[in-house]
Structure 1
């Protein structure tokens, strides 16, 4: 699952206008709304 840091990164990115936040973490992709890098 996503932790606090994952959620903070995603929300900060969204607040600054980023359309996607990429991650290697499958949990962050699933629960924090990030896009998984395959």
Structure 2
């Protein structure tokens, strides 16, 4: 799938879906490290 075939909204949604779990995991790992 090329970026040209997707609308800008689809690209943003995909980026959010991919990055959101990564940010959550990073935040939880930081909290776990501070609590440990």
Q: Which has the larger helix fraction? A: 2
Both proteins in one fold, TM over 0.5: no
Structure with more contact order per residue of length (Cα contacts < 8 Å, sep ≥ 6): 1
Q: Is the radius of gyration larger for structure 1 or structure 2? A: 2
Taking structure 2 as the reference length, the TM-score comes to: 0.41
